[in-house]
Structure 1
Amino acid sequence: MRSFFFRCAFALVASLPLAALSATAADAYPSKPIKILVGYSAGGAVDAIARSVGQRMAATLGQPVIVENKPGAGTNIAVKALIASPPDGYTLLLAANALAVNPSLFQPVPYDLERDLTPVSLVGRVPVVLAVREGSEIKTLAQLSAATKAKPGTISVATPGNGSTPHLAMELFQHTAGLSWRHVPYKGGAQALTDVLGGHVDVVAVNALEALPLVKGGKLRVLAVMSPERSAVLPGVPTVAESGYPGFESSVWYGFVAPAGLPKPILAKVHEAVQKALESSEVRDQLAAAGGVALPGAPELFGKLVKDDAARYGKLIREANIKPD
């Protein structure tokens, strides 16, 4: 009995320094620069949002926030770099929909969403749009649907690539509307838009950020936005739901994740810094300029969004037999 009590007492004492160390680390956080990983090249939408939000986070946390671009493998390189990092709050990832898509799109499965990651905060959402060149005979989504049904498989739709969010949004709409398009994948949205403007492809599915300059220049006409509500920068364009497909929506979202095992006190500090950043006019204006909206909220809400999207797009990927480029 005496031995039993001795072992219990020893275990309790041995655990105290670890608990104290954990509490001290949380109290001292942050004591050095914080890194935001981005799985896309510099100059893109995710990179720009990471830098804007990071700048505001730095003001709140009192430490520099540095953006590090790690493009490649459909963002899997950046995600794996995050997972390999210590769960101490000094390495974060600004992710987009690919985070939820890739476990179903790639084989072998590159990571486990629940086991390997900690959701921190949703940042915002930008709608996917369906658009045609200004001179196209197709003027509305209803006309596009009618033309497709008259000659199934003849209407071509460009996307930024197999497994991209616009591609999956396009596939999801096809399933919803009972249509059959000919998919033309590209290595990014710029070339897809170029070929639609040149008349080589009929329609393009792309995020609103990439389409806006061409819309403002009178070269591209947006038939519908796939967000739940109309875009503030495209107020005259109906949603897909308004165009005869109630309940349909598909958007590009952005959100912060950290490695699994991030201590709750540090998670709370990072989350608070992101929420304050989303309150700033600079961040909100940047998202609005891209046709998007800021979406602050609890880590649990972002975690549910990722989980729900993983299930929704995973089902679509299996049924449509979608493969990565």
Structure 2
Amino acid sequence: MKTNSIRRHVLALAGLLALGVSANVAAADAFPTKPLKILVGYSAGGAVDAIARSVGQRMSAILGQPVIVENKPGAGTNIAVKALIASPPDGYTLLLAANALAVNPSLFEPAPYDLERDLTPVASVGRVPVVFTVREGSAIKTLPELVAAARAKPGSVTVATPGNGSTPHLAMELFQHTAGLSLRHVPYKGGAQAITDVLGGHVDVVAVNALEVLPLAKSGKLKVLAVMSTERAAVLPGVPTVAESGYPGFEASVWYGFVAPAKLPQPVLAKLHDAVQKALESPEVRDQLAAAGGGPLPGPTSQFDKLLKTDAARYGKLIREANIKPD
């Protein structure tokens, strides 16, 4: 009797598990059945917001459901990340993240989240190079000249960035480490004031995203010394890369990509990834990325996962060694 009772319980449990698996598979097959939401950790009207809306519009057409963009700026994007982590892992809430996602666990104490434990990488979207730029008429006209000036008088060349721990700041730190230089960092509260002070001759060089200097570079008021992408930027074809300028393999760009909460079902992940890849093929999305100074970054989820881990490791090491603290 006891054996039969145990057997019945085991069979009943197996049946429940099978029903659960079947229900999950059915839900994944039907996905999506309601609107999706893209969280953005930046204010409305900025580059990330514009990219989210452009990609979201195409994903809506592909998936057959509305895609809503919700801005949750603040705390270096940590507010948006925490909102994502608190969401159900059902694919209906995504975050369009940038490099800060990989950097913040090392930059903030205590770490606001764990990349591997709390998040599921979905797909990379695009990449925008960081650039070294000077005002027109500066004595520094090329990247080798910047290096020569810094070596002649260590600590004399001032480099403005949008702030401590920003991607341009980390890119600057990475470059001076690679080149064996001593540059003097001047952090600002955003790129606009940093650019203004370069134009005014108050600082020598500014490191920012390509998007922020494009209009002034095209008008001749600023001169871009080098882009930090692996290849020349389509919007700045005449500007050499840092790698071309004597530092092979050097790369420091701003990337954008979608992440979801941890434990996202694989079939849902596959559908979302496929929708992003198709969205990146559209001229509208490519034009939006070009307007931001960059281009699309299609590829498998594994590629984005590797990018996240690589940036987390290299920038985490840099943050610890340089004792970088957030503003």
How does 1:5-84 map onto structure 2 within 5 Å? 5-84=7-86
CA shift, 1:289, in A, is 2.9
Supply the AA of the counterpart residue of 2:172.
M
Supply the AA of the counterpart residue of 2:286.
R
- Matches of 2:200 and 2:92 in 1, distance apart? 46
User: 1:167 is matched with which residue?
Assistant: 169
2:155 to 144, 147, 153: 153
1:30–1:63 contact (8 Å) kept in structure 2: yes
Supply the AA of the counterpart residue of 1:206.
V
CA shift, 1:4, in A, is 3.1
User: 1:274 is matched with which residue?
Assistant: 276
Ranges of 4+ aligned residues in structure 1 off by more than 4 Å: none
Supply the AA of the counterpart residue of 2:204.
D
CA shift, 1:236, in A, is 0.9
Supply the AA of the counterpart residue of 1:179.
L
Supply the AA of the counterpart residue of 2:122.
V
User: 1:290 is matched with which residue?
Assistant: 292
1:271–1:299 contact (8 Å) kept in structure 2: yes
CA shift, 1:211, in A, is 1.1
- Matches of 1:6 and 1:300 in 2, distance apart? 43
TM-score, normalisation: structure 1: 0.98
- Matches of 2:301 and 2:20 in 1, distance apart? 26
User: 1:306 is matched with which residue?
Assistant: 308
- Matches of 2:40 and 2:196 in 1, distance apart? 26
1:195 to 188, 197, 203: 197
C-alpha distance after superposition, 1:42-62 (max 9, x if no partner): 111111111110010000011
CA shift, 1:3, in A, is 3.2
User: Relative to structure 2, which stretch is displaced further, 17-26 or 226-235?
Assistant: 17-26
Q: Secondary structure at the match of 2:280?
A: helix
User: 1:244 is matched with which residue?
Assistant: 246
- Matches of 1:13 and 1:232 in 2, distance apart? 57
Supply the AA of the counterpart residue of 1:162.
N
Supply the AA of the counterpart residue of 1:49.
I
Q: Secondary structure at the match of 2:126?
A: strand
RMSD, matched Cα: 1.0
User: 1:210 is matched with which residue?
Assistant: 212
Supply the AA of the counterpart residue of 2:186.
V
1:144 to 137, 143, 146: 146
Of all paired residues, the percent bearing the same amino acid is 79
TM-score, normalisation: structure 2: 0.97
Supply the AA of the counterpart residue of 1:110.
P
- Matches of 2:208 and 2:41 in 1, distance apart? 18
CA shift, 1:77, in A, is 0.4
C-alpha distance after superposition, 1:67-111 (max 9, x if no partner): 111111111000000000001111000000000000100000110
C-alpha distance after superposition, 1:178-211 (max 9, x if no partner): 1111111111111111111111111000010111
Supply the AA of the counterpart residue of 2:237.
P
CA shift, 1:27, in A, is 2.2
Identify unmatched segments of 5+ residues in structure 2.
Answer: none
1:39–1:76 contact (8 Å) kept in structure 2: yes
- Matches of 1:195 and 1:95 in 2, distance apart? 29
1:212–1:290 contact (8 Å) kept in structure 2: no
User: How many correspondences in the alignment?
Assistant: 325
Q: Secondary structure at the match of 1:285?
A: helix
C-alpha distance after superposition, 1:264-319 (max 9, x if no partner): 11111111110110010111122123331211111111011101110010000011
Q: Secondary structure at the match of 2:259?
A: strand
Identify unmatched segments of 5+ residues in structure 1.
Answer: none
- Matches of 1:34 and 1:192 in 2, distance apart? 37
Q: Secondary structure at the match of 1:300?
A: helix
